[in-house]
Chain A
Amino acid sequence: MSEALSPPLHLRALAASAVIGSGRSGGGTVTPQQLLTQAAASGLRARAGRKAGVFSGGIVLCPPESQPVAGGPMMATLLRLMGDPDAALIDEWAGLAKAKGVRVAEATVPAVLDWWSRQPHRSDVVFEVLGVRAGWLASLNPAWRKPVAGGEIPANGDDVWQTGTPPERTALLTTVRSQDPRRALALVQATWKNDGADERRRFVEVLRVGLSMDDEPFLEAALDDKSKLVRRAAAESLGPLNGSRFKARMNERARAMIGVTRKGAATRITLTPPSEIDPSWERDDVDPMAKTAGKRAYWLKTVLGAADLSVLTDVSGLDAAGVIKALRDDDYFDDALAAIIQAVQVSKEPAWISAVATASLGRIKKDTGVFFQLFGILAGPESEAFALDVLGNDRFAPEERWALLGTLEHAWSESFSVAALKMLLEQKASKNVHMLYNLVSQVANVVAPAAASFFEETVRAMFTDEPTDSFKKSIDRVRLRADMHKEFAS
């Protein structure tokens, strides 16, 4: 053995000849066994004599946490959820933890953070309950350092805007818009001429947050964009913007369609959409070539839906309920109601909401879509009261009732849960098991945990025998939620 070389160096020299093969390395003086004996000795010496490395640099310590760790049962539930991660349940857990002021135990933070970073919709509350160390760990792991909207505007924001990928730019714009709307508008304008149609459309959509008259000139100009997608996005942004030129034009067009006749105390509103439209309407995204059959109805719906609701009250001198009543006999009533519901979704005026809700209940047949829209407008308790009215209406089949309930995505109150489930309990279950399953599993996400037993009873009542396993899963889910809430309450 060459004593002059350190064991690792000697080993390297041996390896060089071993690669070629002892049979082939020059001269053939070394037998395989000799080579192996030398390798064994050198290898062992290198292995035993290995010194610890000397390192440079280090890592920043994790800042101290300010909140206590969630207790055993709560963490046990989270561990169980992580076994088969379900975003809705994990969000609910995080919401409860945040309310209680506790955080995820250190050992579980990486698993949750890793799962979270791969979600299409990352909920802020989950990140929050991971504590201070979530941000600290993300600063050390490039895979967790993906563009996240919200938070601080990065110092190199302008560079990101000029050179970033589309998702990075969108994330940056969202962040900037939430903190400095004017700067966001300036960013969009700076690169507008060179951005693709798809990006332009997305940016217009991002600008809908914090929309003000400051944005109006830009959006008005975007109505002349060469891309239809961008024009449409601009029109949709301008619709809700009070005081915009777009709105004024729509109000003007709407006013021209409304006629009022008075006979004694009774007032009637008649709607007369034009039989042909001015080319200037097209610029505001009113399609002149719309379906030939219902062209006029379509124009009416589009214009009335984008106009101020006050046009109707001003012209007629009636309040919201009065307007609906006066419209009732008109040929275009269904279209008008749909347009008004569209406008209500933007204005959210309580008088109008209750007027269209009442009108919808009495009028529209089998068109559950309207109710879905209305549920979307109403706030939690209001939508619950309205939903009970809808559910109590015997016009609906059981599966339609379930379908309506499935659209109420807020966390249900206990009293509503019980009342709604009671109504369903009285119904025979639908034959369409697959649809019913989807709806039952949707309701399982929002039903009040306190009504868990009643939910189970209702689902069991759909079956003469044992519920199938897929339905049992929904029962288990509600039970799990109930346990979870109990754990956080104690």
Chain B
Amino acid sequence: MADWTVERVVSLAPDAASASAGQGLASLKKWTGVGRSERALWGLCQGSGKDPYQARVDLSEPAFKCSCPSRKFPCKHGLGLMLLFAKDAATFKIGSEPGWVADWLATRSEKAEKKAEKAEAAADKPVDVEAQARRAAQREARVTDGVASCRVWLDDVVKRGLAAAQVEDSSSWERTAARMVDAQAPGLAGMVRRIPAMIASGPGWEVRTLAFLGRIHLLLCAAEQLAALPPDLAGDVRVALGWNQPKEEVLAGPRVKDRWATVAQIVEDEERLKVRRTWLVGKATGQRALILDFAAGLAPLVASLVAGFEFDGEVAFYPGRAPLRALIAERGEARALATELGTAADASIEAGLRRFAVCLAANPWTARWPMALAGVRLIQDGGAGGPWCLADSDGAALPLRPSFCGGLGLWKLLSVSGGGPMTVLAEWDGEYAQPLSALTGDAYHDVAPRWAA
């Protein structure tokens, strides 16, 4: 069973209000009939309804189920029950599962089996090649149109000059982005949406913006001759365009088996969409993987993937020359992350930069790269008041994203390290590092925003 700490359970909450409400319920007085088995926790919590709510947690995932009417997931009862468990596991006596728990677990197992069968059946089923080709052709035609219109727009921006773009109404970028979404190229839309922030990024904005427009241009060039590209490069182009292969196809492809560590997680808002990036590091292969989860509107993100754990399992990468985006194909039981990444970590900043360069050489559209820097510490370049950097023992340093230094994350890193060396997992975009988590001698620390603002 995973080592659930209060902080880890809190990180499962769909939002800050649920986290707080759940903590309010993490007291034995609020519960009756709490118990546990090898696989599950359960308990009854008196709410405002007549009958107490039946809360249950499947610890193997974790998964939650409660009889309360809340639309939040997991609800405060599930969180409260699990927090109570994290605080004081001894309160939960091992016993036999009551009917309402056993039934739910059985349904879950059944569903999982059915899903596996279905997947198998799908794999065996003769593919309707014609229909598939028709769909692909349709999509390709749309994307091709989108790429063409993006090309016209991009040429126009450069012809009129970045100074003109600077005074452009922000809605004009959004219009272009929306056109790209319609053309089923959400990746391209995301790139267009980043331009206004680059234009407003202060000194050096024009260099930054031009380099980024160059990157879009390169993607358009590649997309225009997609059919002529080698299959793996075409795969990278498709991922960059946001034209993803169906999950089943990815899962049916080759897999990488390893002990995977969920080293960091960050949730960001993107156009009414919550996007969660979970970074994995394979402890034996040293391979990095990015798991993306999306949730629209108020819907919660899948709760089962938590940072600071490791599991034996298989990861399937989206095809490409430098595959990074991936799906978890098979996952064993999760354990708290041991605090050493060993050879899977970047031994120095130079080594981390080299890994990034290798990745860029294969896939020039890589936006963020996960640095897992061992033995780095925080310093202020030039002494007190200078910009904060991550520095290694070789005397090399990476600047930290200014917005990160304005938040509590920097101070959390300082406090847990006491100014000494630690392992930091940071997203590197080629200009700034944004730390997401840290491993110190004895613990895993999350410093990324847990809930999208």
A residues engaging B (CB < 8 A)?
8, 11-12, 14-16, 18-24, 32-33, 35-44, 46-62, 72-73, 75-76, 79-80, 83-84, 106-107, 109-111, 113-114, 133, 136-137, 140-141, 476, 479-480, 483
List, sorted by A's number, 13 A–B pairs whose CB atoms are closer than 8 Å.
Answer: A22-B158, A37-B214, A37-B217, A39-B217, A43-B211, A44-B214, A58-B379, A58-B391, A62-B418, A80-B20, A83-B16, A110-B414, A140-B384
Chain A residue contacts of B408, Cβ below 8 A: 110-111, 114
Do A19 and B397 touch across chains, with their CB atoms under 8 A apart? no
Within 392-422 of B, Cβ neighbours of A (below 8 Å) are at 392, 395-399, 408, 411-412, 414-416, 418-420
Do B411 and A114 touch across chains, with their CB atoms under 8 A apart? yes
- A32's partner among B86, B155, B398, B420 (CB-CB below 8 A) is B155
Give the Cβ gap from A187 to chain B, nearest Cβ, in Å: 29
Q: When A and B form their complex, which 7 residue pairs have the shortest distance between CB atoms, in order from nearest?
A: A21-B161, A43-B211, A39-B214, A40-B214, A52-B396, A110-B411, A62-B418
Do B411 and A60 touch across chains, with their CB atoms under 8 A apart? no
User: Which chain B residue lies CB-closest to A141?
Assistant: B411
Given A55-B381, A80-B26, A83-B23, answer yes or no on A137-B7 (Cβ-Cβ < 8 Å).
no
Given A39-B210, A483-B27, answer yes or no on A44-B364 (Cβ-Cβ < 8 Å).
yes
CA distance A56 to B162 in the complex (A): 36
User: Which chain B residue lies CB-closest to A479?
Assistant: B29
Do B206 and A59 touch across chains, with their CB atoms under 8 A apart? no
User: Which chain B residue lies CB-closest to A47?
Assistant: B430
**Residue of A15, A18, A480 with most chain B CB atoms under a 10 A cut-off:** A18
CA distance A53 to B391 in the complex (A): 9
**Residue of A39, A42, A62, A84 with most chain B CB atoms under a 10 A cut-off:** A39
Do A61 and B160 touch across chains, with their CB atoms under 8 A apart? no
Give the Cβ gap from A46 to chain B, nearest Cβ, in Å: 7
Apart from the given pairs A11-B211, A43-B212, A58-B379, 13 other A-B contacts in the complex at a CB distance below 8 Å: A18-B213, A19-B161, A23-B160, A41-B214, A44-B364, A52-B392, A58-B391, A72-B87, A73-B87, A80-B20, A107-B443, A110-B411, A110-B414
Do A48 and B356 touch across chains, with their CB atoms under 8 A apart? yes
User: Which chain B residue lies CB-closest to A54?
Assistant: B395
Give the Cβ gap from B132 to chain A, nearest Cβ, in Å: 34
- A21's partner among B159, B211, B389, B445 (CB-CB below 8 A) is B159
- B207's partner among A15, A35, A106, A141 (CB-CB below 8 A) is A15
Do A133 and B418 touch across chains, with their CB atoms under 8 A apart? yes
User: Which chain B residue lies CB-closest to A139?
Assistant: B384
Chain B residue contacts of A40, Cβ below 8 A: 211, 214-215, 217-218, 364
Judged by a CB distance under 8 angstroms, whether B361 is at the interface is: yes
**Residue of B156, B211, B356 with most chain A CB atoms under a 10 A cut-off:** B211
CA distance A90 to B397 in the complex (A): 39
CA distance A20 to B430 in the complex (A): 26
Do A36 and B207 touch across chains, with their CB atoms under 8 A apart? no
Given A32-B155, A40-B214, A43-B212, answer yes or no on A80-B23 (Cβ-Cβ < 8 Å).
yes
Given A21-B161, A32-B154, A79-B23, answer yes or no on A52-B380 (Cβ-Cβ < 8 Å).
no
Count class of interface residues, chain B: 35 or more
User: Which chain A residue lies CB-closest to B27?
Assistant: A483
Secondary structure class of chain B's binding surface, majority of residues: helix
Within 213-259 of B, Cβ neighbours of A (below 8 Å) are at 213-215, 217-218, 221
CA distance A61 to B213 in the complex (A): 43
Chain A residue contacts of B381, Cβ below 8 A: 53, 55-57
Chain A residue contacts of B328, Cβ below 8 A: none
B residues engaging A (CB < 8 A)?
5-7, 10, 16, 19-20, 23-24, 26-27, 29, 83, 86-88, 154-156, 158-164, 206-207, 209-215, 217-218, 221, 349-350, 353, 356-357, 360-361, 364, 378-384, 386, 389, 391-392, 395-399, 408, 411-412, 414-416, 418-420, 430-431, 443, 445
Given A56-B382, A106-B416, answer yes or no on A18-B210 (Cβ-Cβ < 8 Å).
yes
User: Which chain B residue lies CB-closest to A452?
Assistant: B29
Chain B residue contacts of A49, Cβ below 8 A: 357
- A23's partner among B7, B161, B162, B419 (CB-CB below 8 A) is B161
- A14's partner among B210, B357, B380 (CB-CB below 8 A) is B210
Give the Cβ gap from A82 to chain B, nearest Cβ, in Å: 10
Give the Cβ gap from A463 to chain B, nearest Cβ, in Å: 15
CA distance A490 to B29 in the complex (A): 18
Do A43 and B415 touch across chains, with their CB atoms under 8 A apart? no
User: Which chain B residue lies CB-closest to A24?
Assistant: B161
Do A72 and B6 touch across chains, with their CB atoms under 8 A apart? yes
Do A106 and B415 touch across chains, with their CB atoms under 8 A apart? yes
Do B160 and A53 touch across chains, with their CB atoms under 8 A apart? no
User: Which chain B residue lies CB-closest to A38?
Assistant: B214
CA distance A11 to B418 in the complex (A): 40
Do A140 and B414 touch across chains, with their CB atoms under 8 A apart? yes
Chain A residue contacts of B443, Cβ below 8 A: 107
Do A107 and B160 touch across chains, with their CB atoms under 8 A apart? no
User: Which chain B residue lies CB-closest to A49?
Assistant: B357
Do A57 and B383 touch across chains, with their CB atoms under 8 A apart? yes
CA distance A133 to B386 in the complex (A): 21
Do A61 and B414 touch across chains, with their CB atoms under 8 A apart? no
**Residue of B24, B156, B356 with most chain A CB atoms under a 10 A cut-off:** B24
Give the Cβ gap from A331 to chain B, nearest Cβ, in Å: 58
Do B206 and A48 touch across chains, with their CB atoms under 8 A apart? no
- B211's partner among A46, A60, A113, A114 (CB-CB below 8 A) is A46
Do A50 and B353 touch across chains, with their CB atoms under 8 A apart? yes
Do B391 and A12 touch across chains, with their CB atoms under 8 A apart? no
Given A23-B161, A83-B20, answer yes or no on A57-B206 (Cβ-Cβ < 8 Å).
no
Given A21-B161, A111-B408, answer yes or no on A59-B379 (Cβ-Cβ < 8 Å).
yes
Do B212 and A62 touch across chains, with their CB atoms under 8 A apart? no
User: Which chain B residue lies CB-closest to A36?
Assistant: B217
CA distance A66 to B5 in the complex (A): 25
User: Which chain B residue lies CB-closest to A469?
Assistant: B48
Do B389 and A53 touch across chains, with their CB atoms under 8 A apart? yes
Give the Cβ gap from B302 to chain A, nearest Cβ, in Å: 23
- A52's partner among B7, B155, B156, B350 (CB-CB below 8 A) is B350
Give the Cβ gap from A138 to chain B, nearest Cβ, in Å: 10
Chain B residue contacts of A113, Cβ below 8 A: 411
User: Which chain B residue lies CB-closest to A8?
Assistant: B207
Do A58 and B211 touch across chains, with their CB atoms under 8 A apart? no
Chain A residue contacts of B397, Cβ below 8 A: 52-55
CA distance A47 to B16 in the complex (A): 37
CA distance A107 to B446 in the complex (A): 9
- A55's partner among B24, B155, B353, B379 (CB-CB below 8 A) is B379
Give the Cβ gap from B349 to chain A, nearest Cβ, in Å: 5
Given A57-B383, A61-B418, answer yes or no on A42-B211 (Cβ-Cβ < 8 Å).
yes
- B419's partner among A8, A41, A61, A75 (CB-CB below 8 A) is A61
Chain A residue contacts of B209, Cβ below 8 A: 15
**Residue of A43, A52, A141 with most chain B CB atoms under a 10 A cut-off:** A52
- B415's partner among A44, A137, A479 (CB-CB below 8 A) is A137
Given A19-B161, A44-B364, A107-B415, answer yes or no on A36-B214 (Cβ-Cβ < 8 Å).
yes
Do B389 and A55 touch across chains, with their CB atoms under 8 A apart? yes
Do A76 and B163 touch across chains, with their CB atoms under 8 A apart? no
Do A52 and B398 touch across chains, with their CB atoms under 8 A apart? yes
Do B353 and A18 touch across chains, with their CB atoms under 8 A apart? no
CA distance A18 to B5 in the complex (A): 53
CA distance A171 to B162 in the complex (A): 52
- B161's partner among A20, A55, A57 (CB-CB below 8 A) is A20
**Residue of B88, B217, B364 with most chain A CB atoms under a 10 A cut-off:** B217
CA distance A39 to B162 in the complex (A): 13
Chain B residue contacts of A46, Cβ below 8 A: 211, 430
